[in-house]
C-alpha cells in the first residue's frame, strides 16, 4: 500500500509541472471507492493550484475565472499510482481517472480500485473535512513534540504497532515504516502504548521521522505496485533492517528476526533488541 513517503514522492513529482495547468477534460473509468461528486464536464477550464498532502491524501486545488472552485482529494488506496504523461495513450483496464491538462495527463492506475478521487468545495467542508478529520499530526510538524506524542500514547491501551498504523498519534508510519521505526527505537511492537515512557516516546518519534526521511530520500518503497509519476520504483525496502527478513539475523545482535501478525498485518521485529 502506498504510504506517506510514496504519496509525498508522488506529490513532489506532479506539484511543479501541474501548478497553473489548465484542465481540458476529466475522464472516469470504472468506479473507485467513492463517487466523484461532480459532473466531469464541469472541470474543463479550471486551473490547478499548489498541490498539497495531508496524511496519505493529495489535494489538488482548482480555480475558475471567478476564483476558487474547490478541488480534488485523491487517495491511492491499496495499489494505486499516479503518472503524468504528455502522451498517455489509450487508458488500460486499470486506468480509472484521467485529468487532462495543457501540461499533460494525470492518470490514476489502480488494479484493486480501493483508491479515490473526490471533489470537495474546500478542505474545510465535506467530504474532504470528513475524510481528514481523524488524521493525527504530520510527523514533521514542529508542533508535534515528544510531550504531545507521549500524551497521545498515554491515552491508549492498544499495542504500539497498531496505534502507529491507525495514524491517530502521528500519521505516516505504515506497516513497513512502523516495523522499522520500532526496531530503531528498541520497542517491542506488542508493548501497550500507555506503558511507554516519555524518553522512549521521544526515541520512537525520532525513529519515525528518521525512517520516513530515509524513505523519502529513496523514493519510497515498492513491494508490489507502487511507482512514482515517472514510472520509477522506490528503493527503501532494499535496506530495511527487519521488514521482510523473517529468520534472517538481526543487524544488531544476529538473533533471528521474528514475524507475527498484528493488527492483521505482518510484523517483523527482533525479540532480543526490542523490549517490552
pLDDT tier for residue 220 given thresholds of 50, 70 and 90: confident
| Residue-range definition of the domain harbouring residue 89 | 4-132
Looking at residue 65, its pLDDT comes to: 75
Global pTM reads 0.91
Specify whether 265 is catalytic.
yes
Same domain flag for 44 and 70: yes
Report if residue 188 sits inside a domain. yes
Specify whether 258 is catalytic.
no
Task: List the catalytic residue out of 2, 139, 159, 189.
Answer: 2
| Percent of the residues in the chain that have a pLDDT greater than 90, as a whole number | 84
Q: Which residues contact 141 (CB under 8 A, 6 or more apart)?
A: none
Per the DSSP assignment, residues forming a β-bridge with 68 are 63
Specify whether 87 is catalytic.
no
Helix, strand, or coil here: 143? coil
State yes or no: pLDDT of 230 exceeds 70: no
State yes or no: pLDDT of 69 exceeds 90: no
Report if residue 141 sits inside a domain. no
Specify whether 2 is catalytic.
yes
Among 132, 167, 200, residue at a domain's last position:
132
The string of pLDDT tens digits covering residues 105-157 is 999 999 999 999 999 999 999 999 999 998 999 999 999 999 999 999 999 99
Task: List the catalytic residue out of 113, 192, 259, 265.
Answer: 265
CA 93/CA 230 separation, integer angstroms: 20
Report if residue 29 sits inside a domain. yes
b/e map 106-129, b = 16+ CB within 10 Å: bbbbbbebebbbbbbbebeeebbe
Task: List the catalytic residue out of 53, 56, 200, 245.
Answer: 56
Report if residue 140 sits inside a domain. no
Same domain flag for 171 and 193: yes
In this structure, what CATH number is given to the domain that contains residue 194? Answer: 1.10.8.50
Spatial contact of 26 and 74, defined as CB atoms under 8 Å apart = no
Higher-pLDDT residue of 154 and 78 is 154
The number of distinct structural domains making up the chain is: 2
C-alpha cell recorded at residue 236: 527503501
Same domain flag for 237 and 261: yes
Q: Which residues contact 80 (CB under 8 A, 6 or more apart)?
A: 2, 108, 109, 110, 114, 115, 225
Same domain flag for 104 and 170: no
Q: Which range has the top average pLDDT, 65-69, 209-213, 238-242? A: 209-213
Helix, strand, or coil here: 9? helix
Same domain flag for 88 and 166: no
State yes or no: pLDDT of 68 exceeds 70: no
Amino acid at each position: 500500500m502506498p504510504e506517506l513517503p510514496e504519496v509525498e514522492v508522488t506529490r513532489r513529482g506532479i506539484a511543479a509541472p501541474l501548478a497553473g495547468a489548465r484542465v481540458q477534460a476529466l475522464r472516469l473509468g470504472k468506479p473507485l471507492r467513492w463517487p466523484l461528486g461532480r459532473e466531469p464536464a464541469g472541470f474543463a477550464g479550471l486551473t490547478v493550484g499548489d498541490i498539497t498532502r495531508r496524511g496519505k491524501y493529495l489535494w489538488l486545488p482548482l480555480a475558475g475565472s471567478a476564483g476558487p472552485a474547490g478541488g480534488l482529494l485523491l487517495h491511492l488506496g491499496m495499489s494505486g499510482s499516479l503518472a503524468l504523461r504528455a502522451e498517455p495513450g489509450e487508458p488500460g483496464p486499470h486506468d480509472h481517472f484521467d485529468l487532462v491538462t495543457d501540461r499533460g495527463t494525470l492518470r490514476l492506475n489502480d488494479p484493486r480500485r480501493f483508491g479515490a478521487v473526490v471533489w470537495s468545495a474546500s478542505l474545510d467542508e465535506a467530504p474532504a473535512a470528513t475524510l481528514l478529520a481523524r488524521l493525527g499530526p504530520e510527523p514533521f510538524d514542529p508542533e508535534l513534540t515528544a510531550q504531545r506524542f507521549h500524551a497521545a500514547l498515554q491515552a491508549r491501551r492498544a499495542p504500539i504497532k497498531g496505534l502507529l498504523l491507525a495514524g491517530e498519534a502521528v500519521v505516516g508510519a505504515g506497516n513497513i515504516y512502523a516495523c522499522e521505526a520500532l526496531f530503531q527505537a528498541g520497542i517491542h511492537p506488542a508493548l501497550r502504548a500507555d506503558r511507554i515512557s516519555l524518553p522512549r516516546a521521544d526515541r520512537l518519534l525520532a525513529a519515525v521521522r528518521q525512517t520516513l526521511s530515509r524513505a523519502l530520500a529513496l523514493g519510497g518503497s515498492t513491494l508490489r505496485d507502487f511507482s512514482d509519476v515517472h514510472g520509477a520504483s522506490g528503493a527503501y525496502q532494499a535496506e530495511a533492517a527487519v521488514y521482510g527478513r523473517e529468520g534472517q539475523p538481526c543487524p544488531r545482535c544476529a538473533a533471528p528476526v521474528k514475524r507475527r501478525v498484528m493488527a492483521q498485518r505482518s510484523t517483523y521485529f527482533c525479540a532480543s533488541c526490542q523490549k517490552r
